[in-house]
């Protein structure tokens, strides 16, 4: 009989984490009996529907409500789960799931960290900007002393939860190093880099551009990600004006929504850049947009190992990105794209360097093609979903023995 494994996230917006979970489920279901638990939300429901279509048993449990840990523990006992695999998009996610798994007597618990630990990545003077946001403390900016106290409390809570975990999988070496820095035992940590499935093809670049009603001379700089401080849209906006002065045919296509969207739209309007920055909202045709793009741009301030960069490289797009943990393990500077120093959370930084990096592949099609070809080869060689699933299964087997 195949061992029973439960995949779990308590994120209500499991975008990249959700894709990772689905990829694992697809690859692992021949060796394990899989179930998936996530909370009710529009994104969560879509994730469960897609998992069900793969043959995975699903449950919608709102972990965080009163008695929800007991509800999850009862589900795990009923399914006779032997290994519980919690996926955390950020450090503070998944705690209740881990506790419920131990309450249910699950023999093995694994936790995957999809993002580097922020306090190990950001300088101290930026942490107030990270916490003063539309979705954390919008009413006021925390003092340095309050931030230091909060970081200490959060790290202590995290380490208490990790005591209940047998292995912590990190999606990149940079993520692993960040959790080593905050005190996770090295013996518990494993690095399993993200991987993606081969592209199944799609519409042609010409058709994709046609859907956008773009004339052939326009050059697309594509960015995909939630509009939150961590994704660096403010930093990009600081470089747009310089790019379009040199290349007025460029258009920045931003896919995604989020709490910063209103601010970003107003910034674009105030700068008179409406013709060059397009807000595309949520899209189901991102692979087609990749095919249409001339450059893929990701200006994050922190990452784990971004799936969207792997997808862009698999589509043979040149990538311009910030030099942050995870991303810099995928993009090789001047081989598969260009890496620049990240901006700050408030959008300040070396926008001239970012603009210059974007202009390189826009102005040199031969260079863009070479970067794109090298990126595709690198993804095929090192970042397959099969390799990711095999290394994850090795962690499972090590514990299940």
> In whole numbers, what is the pLDDT of the chain averaged over residues?
92
Out of 3.40.50.300, 3.40.50.2000, 3.40.50.720, 3.20.20.70, the CATH code matching 205-382 is: 3.40.50.2000
58 band by pLDDT with thresholds 50, 70 and 90 = very high
Q: Are strands 337-340 and 319-322 parallel, antiparallel or unpaired?
A: parallel
Residue 213 has pLDDT above 90, yes or no: no
Q: Pick 286 or 391 by higher pLDDT.
A: 391
Task: Report how far residue 150's alpha carbon sits from residue 141's, in angstroms, rounded to the nearest whole number.
Answer: 13
What are the residue boundaries of the structural domains of the chain, listed by start?
4-197+384-400, 205-382
Beta strands in 97-200 (DSSP E): 108-113, 167-170, 189-191
Q: What share of the chain has pLDDT > 90, as a percent?
A: 76
127 band by pLDDT with thresholds 50, 70 and 90 = confident
Q: Is the pTM of this model over 0.85?
A: yes
Residue 21 near residue 47, CB atoms below 8 Å? yes
36 pairs with which residues across the strands? 7, 58
DSSP state at residue 106: -
The pair of three-digit structure tokens given for residue 253, joined into one six-digit string: 């296509």
Could you give the 3-state DSSP secondary structure of residue 259? coil
Look at residue 138 in the predicted model and tell me its pLDDT. Answer: 58
Q: Which CATH architecture has domain 4-197+384-400?
A: 3-Layer(aba) Sandwich (3.40)
Q: Pick 392 or 198 by higher pLDDT.
A: 392
Dihedral class, residue 361 (left if φ above 0, else alpha if ψ from -120 to 50, else beta): alpha
Mean pLDDT within 316-326:
96
Task: Report how far residue 337's alpha carbon sits from residue 313's, in angstroms, rounded to the nearest whole number.
Answer: 9
Residues 6+ apart with CB under 8 A from 103: 69, 70, 73
Residue 204 has pLDDT above 90, yes or no: no
148: enclosing H helix or E strand: helix 144-162
Maximum Cα–Cα distance across the chain? 64
134 band by pLDDT with thresholds 50, 70 and 90 = low
208 band by pLDDT with thresholds 50, 70 and 90 = confident
The pair of three-digit structure tokens given for residue 282, joined into one six-digit string: 């949520």
Residue 222 has pLDDT above 90, yes or no: yes
Mean pLDDT within 4-31:
94
DSSP state at residue 31: T
Q: Are strands 4-8 and 319-322 parallel, antiparallel or unpaired?
A: unpaired
Look at residue 133 in the predicted model and tell me its pLDDT. Answer: 58
Comparing C-alpha atoms, which of 219, 19, 230 is closest to residue 122? 230
Task: Report how far residue 400's alpha carbon sits from residue 5's, in angstroms, rounded to the nearest whole number.
Answer: 10
Task: Work out the angle at residue 166's Cα, subtended by the Cα atoms of residues 163 and 170, and round it to the nearest 5 degrees.
Answer: 95
* The residue to which tokens 């694992």 are assigned: 24
Instruction: Please tell me the total number of residues recorded for the chain in this structure.
Output: 401
Of 214-223, 305-314, 327-336, the poorest mean pLDDT is in 214-223
Look at residue 119 in the predicted model and tell me its pLDDT. Answer: 85
Task: Report how far residue 243's alpha carbon sits from residue 250's, in angstroms, rounded to the nearest whole number.
Answer: 8
Task: Work out the angle at residue 374's Cα, subtended by the Cα atoms of residues 372 and 376, and round it to the nearest 5 degrees.
Answer: 70
* Fold match between domain 4-197+384-400 and domain 205-382: yes
Look at residue 217 in the predicted model and tell me its pLDDT. Answer: 87
Residue 383 has pLDDT above 60, yes or no: yes
pLDDT tens digit sequence for 250-264: 999 999 999 999 999
Mean pLDDT within 187-205:
87
Of 90-99, 174-183, 202-211, the poorest mean pLDDT is in 202-211
Comparing C-alpha atoms, which of 300, 213, 204 is closest to residue 251? 213
* The residue to which tokens 């004006």 are assigned: 241
pLDDT tens digit sequence for 338-370: 999 999 998 999 999 999 999 999 999 999 999
Rounded to whole angstroms, what are the CA distances from 230 to 146, 223, 234, 307?
21, 13, 10, 15
Look at residue 201 in the predicted model and tell me its pLDDT. Answer: 65
Residue 116 has pLDDT above 90, yes or no: yes
Residue 194 near residue 305, CB atoms below 8 Å? yes
């Amino acid at each position: 009989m195949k061992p029973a494994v439960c995949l779990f996230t308590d994120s209500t917006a499991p975008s990249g984490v959700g894709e990772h979970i689905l990829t694992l489920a697809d690859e692992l279901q021949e060796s394990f009996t899989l179930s998936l638990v996530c909370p009710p939300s529009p994104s969560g429901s879509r994730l469960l529907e897609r998992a069900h279509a793969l043959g995975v048993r699903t449950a919608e449990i709102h972990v965080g409500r009163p008695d929800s840990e007991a509800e999850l523990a009862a589900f795990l006992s009923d399914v006779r789960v032997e290994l519980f695999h919690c996926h955390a998009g950020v450090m503070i996610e998944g705690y209740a799931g881990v506790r419920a798994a131990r309450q249910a007597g699950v023999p093995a618990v694994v936790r995957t960290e999809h993002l580097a630990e922020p306090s190990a990545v950001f300088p101290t003077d930026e942490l107030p900007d990270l916490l003063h946001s539309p979705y954390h403390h919008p009413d006021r900016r925390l003092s340095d002393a309050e931030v230091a106290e909060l970081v200490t409390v959060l790290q202590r809570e995290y380490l208490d939860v990790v005591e209940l975990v047998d292995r912590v999988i990190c999606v990149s070496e940079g993520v692993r190093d960040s959790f080593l820095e905050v005190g996770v035992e090295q013996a518990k940590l494993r690095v399993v880099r993200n991987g993606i499935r081969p592209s199944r093809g799609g519409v042609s670049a010409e058709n994709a551009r046609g859907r956008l009603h773009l004339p052939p001379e326009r050059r697309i700089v594509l960015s995909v990600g939630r509009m939150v401080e961590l994704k660096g849209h403010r930093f990009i906006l600081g470089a747009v004006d310089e790019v379009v002065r040199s290349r007025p045919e460029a258009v920045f296509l931003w896919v995604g929504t989020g709490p910063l969207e209103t601010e970003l739209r107003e910034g674009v309007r105030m700068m008179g850049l409406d013709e060059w920055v397009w807000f595309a909202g949520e899209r189901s045709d991102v692979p087609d947009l990749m095919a249409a793009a001339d450059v893929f741009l990701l200006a994050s301030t922190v990452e784990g190992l971004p799936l969207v960069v792997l997808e862009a490289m698999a589509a043979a797009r040149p990538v311009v990105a910030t030099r942050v943990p995870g991303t810099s393990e995928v993009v090789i500077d001047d081989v598969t794209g260009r890496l620049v120093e990240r901006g700050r959370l408030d959008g300040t930084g070396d926008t001239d360097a970012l603009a210059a990096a974007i202009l390189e592949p826009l102005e040199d099609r031969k260079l863009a093609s070479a970067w794109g070809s090298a990126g595709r080869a690198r993804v095929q060689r090192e970042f397959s979903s099969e390799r990711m699933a095999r290394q994850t299964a090795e962690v499972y087997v090590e514990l299940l023995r």
